[in-house]
Amino acid sequence: MEKSKLGWNESFEEKYMLYKDKDFLVARVICSERYKYKLLCNGEILNAEVSGRYRYKSQRHRDYPSVGDWVVVAKFIGETSGVIHGLLERENAFTRKMPVSGGRKIRDGRIIGGTPEEQVLAANVDTVFIVMSVDGNFNISRIERYLTLAYNCGVTPVIILNKVDVTDNIEKYISEVREVAFDVPVHAVSATSDINMDCFNTYMLSGKTVVFFGSSGVGKSTITNYLLGTEGQKTSMISTSNGKGRHTTSTSQMLFHKTGCMIIDTPGLRELQLWCDESAVDKNFRDVVELIEKCKYRDCKHDTEIGCAIKKALESGDLSRNRYESYLDQYGEVNYNSKAKRMAEVQYNKFYTRLDKK
Ligand SMILES: Nc1nc2c(ncn2[C@@H]2O[C@H](COP(=O)(O)OP(=O)(O)OP(=O)(O)O)[C@@H](O)[C@H]2O)c(=O)[nH]1
Ligand SMILES: [Mg+2]
Ligand SMILES: [Zn+2]
């Protein structure tokens, strides 16, 4: 498959110049699992790992390739494997704070402890589908979190409410979502009952990359399989059966749609901590920010101050308490993480300065 069909563009061509005099090939990461990668390179699938030098120069999780990334690779002659020597700067990345394993504590409803790090879940994407099912999984504050991360990534989000076949009241769900989503498209579908599935046609365009995010069991893989048709299903989803006959996706994987669109199916996210700038929160909560700007005092704490627009809106019901609390929650979390984020940045710069001197 040609590079241009995989989303390659002039900007990547420019970034590739850095490596042009070397004998490297370019490839797109279609699967990554524990630092082992599957790449699509000139129509061939290669198994690859990063070189020793690459590892030596990389300190953060985000320095390593993720699904959707473009990398430069040296292919072993006559084999379907190679070594990754570089990562082309990303156009965008959907990231979250890496879930902390071990030593985690919850304080004020916030997870603390462990190494604070950013985790790239998918790179170089054109559309982020946020999937939620209209059953017990439905949760507005979770949608608000996904939206903040999508805004941070700078990619158009689209909300998919799946399993409409299990509710008689889809309008209620849609209107709740619309209240927090503004101009973000919202589509109610059923992948198993084939309801409104043609809404995906607008997004499935040649050379574009779309990604599905959402909790486990909301139907991301079922939607992906529907879109790919029987042919796609044969290209083996990487899934593990959990003993109940259900297949839980264990690794993100890029699949290829007949239109030439690339679909990334991801494993369900149990945790979605914010690792982003305040501006992403502000963009998501522009209704709250607009009110804050109307407060009489610049440093209004929205508590007992005279002329507080937030207080007034909460009293009149123009602003719901849940919405305001979501805003405060996210704002607090981003602020809390921003200190760790800055410290990680300092560490990283030190590491790089040392490396440059060598
Ligand atoms: N009723 C109903 N069930 C659905 C629909 N779409 C998917 N399901 C069911 O939901 C269950 C989970 O679907 P999956 O596609 O595996 O969910 P997933 O989001 O990929 O889950 P993970 O891979 O664990 O993240 C399966 O039993 C599907 O048959 C739908 O539109 N309606
Ligand atoms: Mg799945
Ligand atoms: Zn105020």
**Mean pLDDT of the region 262-284:** 91
Domain closes at, from 265, 300, 335: 265
Structure tokens at 347: 């560490």
Name the residue of 133, 170, 190, 222 whose CB sits within 8 Å of the most ligand 1 atoms, as the mutation to test its pocket.
Answer: 222
Domain closes at, from 62, 87, 112: 87
Could you tell me the distance, in angstroms and rounded to a whole number, from the CA of residue 271 to the centre of ligand 1? 19
When pLDDT is cut at 50, 70 and 90, the band that residue 5 belongs to is: confident
Do 349 and 323 share a structural domain? Answer: yes
Which residue type does 126 have? Answer: D
Q: State the Cα–Cα distance between residues 116 and 340, nearest whole angstrom.
A: 6
Question: Could you tell me the CATH number of the domain that includes residue 298?
Answer: 1.10.40.50
Write out the residue range of the structural domain in which residue 340 sits.
Answer: 278-357
When pLDDT is cut at 50, 70 and 90, the band that residue 232 belongs to is: low
Do 194 and 118 share a structural domain? Answer: yes
Q: Does the pLDDT of residue 131 top 80, yes or no?
A: yes
When pLDDT is cut at 50, 70 and 90, the band that residue 107 belongs to is: low
The answer to whether 94 and 150 have CB atoms below 8 angstroms apart is: yes
Bridge-based pairing of strands 25-33 and 36-41 is antiparallel
Do 209 and 107 share a structural domain? Answer: yes
Do 346 and 294 share a structural domain? Answer: yes
SS3 label, residue 351: helix
When pLDDT is cut at 50, 70 and 90, the band that residue 236 belongs to is: very low
Which residue type does 177 have? Answer: V
Q: Is the pTM of this model over 0.85?
A: yes
Q: Is 271 a domain residue?
A: no
Q: State the Cα–Cα distance between residues 7 and 190, nearest whole angstrom.
A: 29
How many Å from the N-terminal Cα to the C-terminal Cα in the chain?
40
Q: Is 289 a domain residue?
A: yes
Q: Which pLDDT tens digit goes with each residue over 242-264?
A: 555 567 888 999 999 999 999 99
Do 69 and 121 share a structural domain? Answer: no
Q: Is 57 a domain residue?
A: yes
Average pLDDT, the chain: 88
pLDDT at 277: 87
Do 222 and 105 share a structural domain? Answer: yes
When pLDDT is cut at 50, 70 and 90, the band that residue 68 belongs to is: very high
Q: State the Cα–Cα distance between residues 202 and 185, nearest whole angstrom.
A: 11
Query: Which secondary-structure segment (H or E) carries 229?
Result: helix 220-234
Could you tell me the distance, in angstroms and rounded to a whole number, from the CA of residue 270 to the centre of ligand 2? 13
The maximal CA–CA distance of the chain, rounded, in angstroms, is 76
Do 218 and 123 share a structural domain? Answer: yes
Q: Is 272 a domain residue?
A: no
Do 99 and 71 share a structural domain? Answer: no
The answer to whether 255 and 265 have CB atoms below 8 angstroms apart is: yes
CA 138 to chain centre: 19
Residues having CB closer than 6 A to ligand 1 are 162-163, 165-166, 190-193, 214, 216-222, 246-249, 267-268
Lowest mean pLDDT segment, chosen from 35-44, 50-59, 348-357? 348-357
**Mean pLDDT of the region 65-75:** 96
Ligand nearest to the CA of residue 246, numbered in listed order: 1
When pLDDT is cut at 50, 70 and 90, the band that residue 29 belongs to is: very high
Check residues 352 and 234 and name the one with the higher pLDDT. 352
Do 102 and 27 share a structural domain? Answer: no
Question: Could you tell me the CATH number of the domain that includes residue 234?
Answer: 3.40.50.300
Domain closes at, from 87, 110, 139: 87
When pLDDT is cut at 50, 70 and 90, the band that residue 111 belongs to is: low
* β-bridge partners, 49: 83
